[in-house]
Amino acid sequence: MSELSMSTAPYSSRLENGTWNFPANATDLNFAKEQDSKDPLRKFRNEFCIPSKAELKDPHPEAKSVSEQNDPSDLSIYLCGNSLGLQPKRTRELLSEELSIWATRGVTGHFDHPLSRPWVSAAEQLQQHMSAIVGASPSEVAVMGTLTDNIHLLMASFYRPSGQRTKIIIEGKAFPSDHYAITSQIEWHGLDPNKELVLIEPSSGEYTVTTQEILDAIEKHKDNTAVLFLSGVQYYTGQLFEMEKITKYAKERGIMVGWDLAHAVGNVELHLHDWGVDFAAWCTYKYLSSGPGGMAGIFVHASHDDEKRHRLAGWWGHDPESRFRMENTFNPAKGAAGYMLSNPSIMSLTALRSSLSVFAETSMAALRTKSMHLTAYLNHLLAEMFPEPNPYFRIITPADPNQRGAQLSLLFKGGIMLPVFNRLMDQGIVVDERKPDVIRVAPLPMYNGWEDVYMFVCKLKEAIEETEKRGGTREEVEVMRDAQRKGPTSP
């Protein structure tokens, strides 16, 4: 994102020489309201179901009639789309259409679909939209499975340890599922993870790793590494890695490069093809709002199309032209689609189709521009309302907007995270806690605005003051003590 495109945005904050400048009135609610009213993406908020505070506490929200409107003054402040994105309003209707077609057509819906969305090609129908989001050509993308499953499938193809090249480099604090998947891949080849797994750790006292630390690890292990597998945006710290630079550096050293884009897709701009990434996998239930456990996606660079690469095969990865001839010889479909296994869940695909159709009405460039302004505003308000020395928390996400996505991670001091989090939730402020001491906050450009951020910071102040006055409940104190005993995240 160039500074030029940042300054032409219709927002009042400015990024100049790496510093965000905000007008003096940025700490007023009126400033937030004015920004929302000027925001060209504001209309998308109305495309999503924002839970009301009453709904969050309703023991039977499932009984609510679809036509009931939420009172706008009672909406929650939802800043947790980095964990589970909100439901697009159009999803329910699309799902209901597919249910009707299934009910009335049965198996014939596979080929004869009255709304021209035959189930047999439903995954292919989404390749175009998905590829635009990750910067790829449609054939480099497949919509399939779930993230950890797909990491395994891709590693089965791209991790082929041989000769000296047997190691895999990952982050020391990768999302646990990635760590388990990669460790078990190494073991699957009869190798020892203690020898073959290289963990990149931040230097002491830090949470984020520098690009230089990553490049140094690559350089150190360049002759023995088969695969480098990192996350594009780190789930815990929100750090955005320099994917292009890191990919190029590793590839020049003969290393295969894969990315886990769970927290990057729909959050930051991606150019997987141009960056020369070999493979990537992501889930779609966070920034892309496909619903809990929604259908995931993979990328395989076109440069691998003509290789006779080993893969774990299934009939849905077979060339669709001859798939139904039911022959024994596997003839993979061109590109990423050749890695599919099973016929996909239409319900899951339909929910994804719905959210991708919202994304298709804007662009990642526009979303990212808004996101940078919005997260900078969050950072600015936190700094203004909790001036240094801040005894309550510190932000562990990089301050440089080019090194972070939408999320800021607040590391709490003095064991107050859980009572503060519970007080926020009680007020209808939905954020995410990672025990023992981190709260992740993510204003999403698709449906959050400046007023959401403003309200969050005000409520955070109240929650901290209340916690200072009254402390946590006995139960909260116990949970925090236990979490700190088990696994302090402080370096």
The binding site for ligand PLP (CB under 6 A) comprises: 146-148, 175, 177-178, 231, 235, 260, 262-263, 283
Q: Which does 331 bind (CB under 5 to 8 A by kind): ligand PLP, ligand 3DJ, none?
A: none
Rg (the chain; Cα; Å): 23
Q: How far is the CB of 432 from ligand 3DJ (least distance, A)?
A: 6
State the sign of the Cα–Cα–Cα–Cα dihedral 129, 130, 136, 138: negative
- Which residue, 296 or 337, is less far from ligand 3DJ as judged by CB? 296
Q: How far is the CB of 208 from ligand 3DJ (least distance, A)?
A: 16
* Identity of the amino acid at 418: L
Query: Is residue 316 part of an annotated ligand binding site?
Result: no
Distance CA(331)–CA(329), nearest Å, equals 6
Query: Is residue 110 part of an annotated ligand binding site?
Result: no
Q: Tell me if 440 sits within 8 A of 432, measured CB to CB.
A: yes
Three-state SS for 353? helix
* E strand spans, 122-239: 141-143, 167-171, 197-200, 225-231
The CB-nearest residue to ligand 3DJ is 83
Q: Tell me if 275 sits within 8 A of 244, measured CB to CB.
A: yes
- Which residue, 175 or 450, is less far from ligand 3DJ as judged by CB? 175
* Residues at the interface with ligand 3DJ (CB under 6 A): 83, 175, 235, 262, 432
Query: Is residue 176 part of an annotated ligand binding site?
Result: yes
State the sign of the Cα–Cα–Cα–Cα dihedral 215, 220, 226, 227: negative
Residues 6+ apart with CB under 8 A from 321: none
Q: How far is the CB of 379 from ligand PLP (least distance, A)?
A: 22
- For 306, the token pair is 């003509």
- Which residue, 398 or 415, is less far from ligand PLP as judged by CB? 398
Q: Which does 83 bind (CB under 5 to 8 A by kind): ligand 3DJ, ligand PLP, none?
A: ligand 3DJ
State the sign of the Cα–Cα–Cα–Cα dihedral 423, 429, 430, 435: negative
Q: Which strands, in side-by-side order, build the sheet including 225-231?
A: 141-143, 297-300, 279-282, 256-260, 225-231, 167-171, 197-200
Q: How far is the CB of 388 from ligand 3DJ (least distance, A)?
A: 29
Q: Which does 146 bind (CB under 5 to 8 A by kind): ligand PLP, ligand 3DJ, none?
A: ligand PLP
* Identity of the amino acid at 464: I
Q: How far is the CB of 346 from ligand PLP (least distance, A)?
A: 19
- Which residue, 178 or 476, is less far from ligand PLP as judged by CB? 178
Q: How far is the CB of 80 from ligand PLP (least distance, A)?
A: 13
Query: Is residue 177 part of an annotated ligand binding site?
Result: yes
Beta strand 77-78 pairing with 429-430: parallel
Q: How far is the CB of 368 from ligand 3DJ (least distance, A)?
A: 20
Q: How far is the CB of 368 from ligand PLP (least distance, A)?
A: 19
Q: What are phi and psi of 208, to 5 degrees?
A: -100, 150
Q: Minimal CA–CA distance to 139: which of 329, 303, 348, 266?
A: 303
Q: Which does 196 bind (CB under 5 to 8 A by kind): ligand 3DJ, ligand PLP, none?
A: none
Cβ density class 106-121: b for 16+ within 10 Å, e for less: eeebeeebeeebbbbe
Decide: residue 176, CB within 10 A, 0-12 exposed, 13-18 middle, 19+ buried. Answer: exposed
- Which residue, 96 or 177, is less far from ligand PLP as judged by CB? 177
- Which residue, 39 or 432, is less far from ligand 3DJ as judged by CB? 432
Three-state SS for 469? helix
- Which residue, 277 or 283, is less far from ligand PLP as judged by CB? 283
Q: Minimal CA–CA distance to 406: which of 384, 377, 437, 430?
A: 377
Q: How far is the CB of 440 from ligand PLP (least distance, A)?
A: 11
Query: Is residue 178 part of an annotated ligand binding site?
Result: yes
Query: Is residue 162 part of an annotated ligand binding site?
Result: no
- Which residue, 146 or 390, is less far from ligand PLP as judged by CB? 146
Q: How many helices (H) and strands (E) does the chain have?
A: 16, 15
- Which residue, 181 or 417, is less far from ligand PLP as judged by CB? 181
Annotated binding residues, written as ranges, equal 147-148, 175-178, 231, 260, 263, 285, 315, 343
Annotated binding residues for pyridoxal 5'-phosphate, written as ranges, equal 147-148, 175-178, 231, 260, 263, 285, 315, 343
